[in-house]
Chain A
Amino acid sequence: MPDDGPEIPDWEDVARRYGRKIYNFAYRLTGNPHDAHDLAQDVLLRVRRGLQSYTPGSFEGWLWRITRNAFLDGVRKKKRRPTVPLPEGDHVDHGAAPPPEEVLAAVRLGEDVQKALLDLPYDFREAVVMCDVVGLTYEEIAEAIDVPIGTVRSRIHRGRKLLRERLG
């Protein structure tokens, strides 16, 4: 897909081309298949709606900004929820639960690295996941999270440093 072409991207194409990256980003940021499934679903829905008003520009920046905002909105929603368990059947259900094979496929994959990743402060985790899991350039990351490139550079560096310490 051209970054600056005049065409408005088609949702099916975006979902097929970026869906897997979005899911991996979601999984590495949340650390579990249930939240990853919900987040990826939310992102794809936002992309579908957003494409109607999408102005051709830097597609990567646009897409990952949506992804990041969806994640942060999810975190805020969780924080607002009561800490005591809700009665059975009264939980907030964001969509269909992932099928068992999806859960099984996701467990025990890079567990130690994943655990260390989840221990990182959010800003660092987000930066290293965008760089090393999604494969974005510093410039794309800067655009997605709306910070200067120097900040991206610093966050990636500190994220990797902390991760290295935690991995022992």
Chain B
Amino acid sequence: MTHPDDLLSALLDGELTPAERRVVAAHLDGCGECRTELADLSMARTALRGLPRLELPEALLAAPITAEIETADDTVVPLRSRRRFGWAVGAAAALALAVGLVVTGDGPAPAADLDTLAEQHTARVVVDPGFVTIRMTVDE
């Protein structure tokens, strides 16, 4: 008889029909090679079954609900992108304010007043850039 090969794994798993089991058992009685293979397969099976079972992270139970809410309305920009966009707007606003005021400050007549104004605003924006970004985030 040829070696039963993959029937050996199925034997370990109780996945053989009674007829198959009888045939394999009879073969094993007379085949040392297959008995060795059965022992090897059993060792691999035990190693796999002995792998530690990890706990499900609790956060995963809540995640799909959150994701569903975010995608419930397709026209709504996902929170993650929206926040990034908010920061970009904040940065752009700060830059426009600073550049705009400095450029305008180069004008001739009201130069003195605008220069002062520009200095104050630019200083505020540059020294405390967090002010704009924090405000933008909160405004969301």
Q: Which A residues contact B (CB, under 8 angstroms)?
A: 11, 15-16, 19-20, 22-24, 27-28, 37, 40-41, 44-45, 47-49, 93, 95-96, 98-99, 102, 105-106, 109-110, 113-114, 117, 128-129, 131-133, 137-138, 153-154, 156-158, 160-161, 163-164, 167
Given contacts A44-B63, A110-B52, A131-B13, contact A161 B57 (CB under 8 A): no
* B50, A110: Cβ atoms closer than 8 Å: yes
Fill in one digit per residue for B85-111: 1 if any A CB lies within 8 Å of its CB, else 0: 000000000000000000000000000
Given contacts A138-B15, A164-B40, contact A133 B64 (CB under 8 A): no
* A41, B63: Cβ atoms closer than 8 Å: yes
Please give the number of chain B residues whose Cβ is less than 8 angstroms from any Cβ of chain A in the complex. Answer: 34
B1 at interface, CB cutoff 8 A: no
State the CA gap A131–B41 with chains docked (Å). 13
Given contacts A41-B64, A133-B51, A164-B43, contact A157 B57 (CB under 8 A): no
A161's partner among B40, B47, B51, B52 (CB-CB below 8 A) is B40
Smallest CB gap from A131: residue in B = B13
A-B contact count (CB 8 A): 117
Of all A-B residue pairs in the complex, the 6 with the closest CB atoms, nearest first, are A157-B6, A132-B48, A157-B9, A160-B44, A164-B44, A20-B56
* B64, A153: Cβ atoms closer than 8 Å: no
Smallest CB gap from A98: residue in B = B57
Interface of A is mostly: helix
Given contacts A93-B80, A153-B6, contact A99 B59 (CB under 8 A): yes
* A160, B9: Cβ atoms closer than 8 Å: yes
* A160, B41: Cβ atoms closer than 8 Å: yes
State the CA gap A113–B49 with chains docked (Å). 10
